[in-house]
Structure 1
Amino acid sequence: MPKVIFIVGPTATGKTETSFLLAEDLKAEIISSDSMLIYKEPQIITSKPPSYMLKKIPHHFVGIISVKDTYNVFDYYLKAIKKIKDLFNQGKNIIVCGGSGLYIKVILDGIFEGPAKDENLRRELQERLKNYGRDYLFEELKRIDPQTAKKISVSDHKRIIRALEVYYLSGIPISEKKRQANGLWRRLPIKIFGLRLKRKELYERINRRVEEMFEKGAVEEVCRLLKMDLSITAEKIIGIKEIKDYLEGNIDFEKAKEEMKKNTRHFAKRQITWFKKDKRIEWIDIDGLTSCEIKEEIKKRL
């Protein structure tokens, strides 16, 4: 049976090289799960895999649209699910590699599509909240959907009301609706590995990577990108705002680098927080390990 392996974790942990080496050994194809690698034009500031990797191993969802185009998680979900199913049915091993937590989540768990909002019902629930207090609504949720109640704080009125609304409109608890979502976790034999570094080493790697980006021509690349009509999603690529501020004279060159390092570190911190919540991930501490050694460790655990 084909293997479906996820390699996840924060930026600068060597996911790209590890996935490539593993794909070589397993004769696998790679599904990118990085929301910035989908763009064709940026090479440096998105740390696009080098051309020799792209030529040797099929990479999907790398450089598929222009920075002029918008792209969202639902677009990715529809295409990635189909591609993974197709490859699996062809008997191919698959490696899903990336750090975009939401992209990973929709592949695994699908996208929950609840009933449309009902303003009359919502007003009624809000009136109950006002008249009887938060404990009243929370007890109602515990009665009809104890699984969801365990995951929601009694003070999170918005989510409590939405969970009750879904149940009253559909007759199905929101926890069951989410379970039925069209993800691959329960449908394919999936293993998820997370690459983990000590925070100090991770931040040092990030700082070195940003320095290398500037040495390779990040400023010139952003100059070219700014001449294009960037979409709202493409504008979020780390490096564009920072270098634009430098080019417009708002900050100096060193400040641009420091801002890019800082924003990348903050991004990595958010990634760590996201992935920590997913108990399905099998973590590998990679301090002091080469990509080849990480690859061998993954193979041992398959």
Structure 2
Amino acid sequence: MKKPVVIFIVGPTGSGKTQVGLNLSRYLPCEYISADSMQIYKGMDIVTDKLVVSLRRKYPYHLLDVVPPSKEYSVAAFCLAAARKVRESVKRKKVPVVVGGTGLYVRSLIHGIFEERSSAEIRSSLMHLAVEKGNSFLHQRLGQVDPQAAGRIHVHDTKRLIRALEVFEMTRRPISELQQKRQGLIVAYDVRIFGLERDRADLYARIDQRVDFMVHGGLLDEVRRLLRRCLGRTASQCIGVREIEGFLKGQYGLEEAVRLMKRNTRHFAKRQMTWFRREPGIEWIKVAADDDLAQIARMIAERASHGWRE
């Protein structure tokens, strides 16, 4: 029996992921799941370039506007919610299409996430041991209870040594064993990952244009509203919030704020590409400036549809 197909469309910000994803609906019966760690926040529509409400009514799009920006949202919470949306979409005979550029969200959803458990008391005890007896003592102890983890963790990596021993003390099971049992979508689904790759000059031009659209589309008013609220740590890190805040506080002019936004977004896109290039299983698609994104979507549909139709 063939596994149901789940399509991922990944890549850096500005690469055209959302447009390609929506065009997939021409060829497959799609439902969409956002894998964007900023678009889950309510009220951050312009600054995150969120899909407009009119299109959300037309296309079934999940995991947008999940929590207020004062709250934190974990990778584990995303995986739980996204996996549920995938199951529901499949039940409706739809193809789940996960679209986003948050690499950790994508990796964790596909391959699973190790359930975090911790004990401040055990961790403190192990930290004291590290100070008193040194890392070699911790590494030797780890080798006795979890040789696989000891072979993977360097003797000078205090943080990971303590974490591995902490997990063993809590569960009496090696962390390497627990990590192997984590399950993501790849266990039950035919996961197809497509990455969009653009020439750097083209990508940067698209980023600059998008920032200009944001500024002319009401970004300043949106950031003013956000800053009147108590932003959480993650939401406050969204590119556009701090840059515009500096302008609103009179630290520099609007032109400088826009320049900083464009520069920081380009740097972010570069980090995204670095992450995704290291990920296995991505089928990369070169996208030129004048390419028809509907044709890119058709190419993805043709590569993935055999698994859905069978």
> TM range, normalised to the smaller chain?
0.7 to 0.9
Q: Percent identity?
A: 38
Q: Give the direction of change, closer, same or farther, for the CA distance of 1:64–1:133 in structure 2 (3 Å limit).
A: closer
TM-score by length of 2: 0.84
- What residue number does 2:299 align with? 297
- What residue number does 1:232 align with? 233
Match of 2:134 among 111, 124, 130: 130
Secondary structure (helix, strand or coil) at the match of 1:96 reads: strand
- What residue number does 1:140 align with? 143
- What residue number does 1:275 align with? 276
Q: Which structure has the higher relative contact order (CA within 8 Å, separation 6+)?
A: 2
- What residue number does 1:45 align with? 47
Partners of 2:147 and 2:135 lie apart in 1 by 21
| Contact 2:123/2:163 (8 A) holds in 1 | no
CA deviations over 1:246-274 (Å, ceiling 9, x no partner): 01110111100011111111211221222
Q: Give the direction of change, closer, same or farther, for the CA distance of 1:64–1:164 in structure 2 (3 Å limit).
A: closer
CA deviations over 1:223-251 (Å, ceiling 9, x no partner): 23223333333222211111111011101
Partners of 1:21 and 1:203 lie apart in 2 by 23
| Contact 2:127/2:162 (8 A) holds in 1 | no
| Contact 2:72/2:234 (8 A) holds in 1 | yes
| Contact 1:194/1:283 (8 A) holds in 2 | yes
Partners of 1:224 and 1:128 lie apart in 2 by 51
| Contact 2:142/2:161 (8 A) holds in 1 | no
Partners of 1:14 and 1:205 lie apart in 2 by 9
| Contact 1:141/1:164 (8 A) holds in 2 | no
| Contact 1:19/1:95 (8 A) holds in 2 | yes
Partners of 2:303 and 2:132 lie apart in 1 by 52
Q: Give the direction of change, closer, same or farther, for the CA distance of 1:56–1:167 in structure 2 (3 Å limit).
A: same
Larger mean CA deviation between 156-165 and 182-191 belongs to 156-165
**Paired residues for 1:197-276 under 5 Å:** 197-276=198-277
CA RMSD after TM alignment: 2.9
CA deviations over 1:4-53 (Å, ceiling 9, x no partner): 10111110000001111113421110001111112232222211113342
Amino acid at match of 2:160: R
Q: Give the direction of change, closer, same or farther, for the CA distance of 1:64–1:163 in structure 2 (3 Å limit).
A: closer
| Contact 1:142/1:149 (8 A) holds in 2 | no
| Contact 2:33/2:98 (8 A) holds in 1 | yes
Partners of 1:114 and 1:71 lie apart in 2 by 14
| Contact 1:197/1:287 (8 A) holds in 2 | yes
Secondary structure (helix, strand or coil) at the match of 2:250 reads: coil
1:58 lines up with 2:60 in the alignment: yes
Partners of 1:71 and 1:111 lie apart in 2 by 15
- What residue number does 1:178 align with? 179
1:25 lines up with 2:31 in the alignment: no
Amino acid at match of 1:292: A
TM-score by length of 1: 0.86
Secondary structure (helix, strand or coil) at the match of 1:228 reads: coil
| Contact 2:9/2:194 (8 A) holds in 1 | yes
CA drift at 1:291: 1.3
Query: Structure 1 stretches of 5 or more lacking a match?
Result: none
| Contact 1:138/1:154 (8 A) holds in 2 | no
- What residue number does 1:73 align with? 75
CA drift at 1:68: 3.9
| Contact 1:125/1:161 (8 A) holds in 2 | no
| Contact 1:2/1:92 (8 A) holds in 2 | no
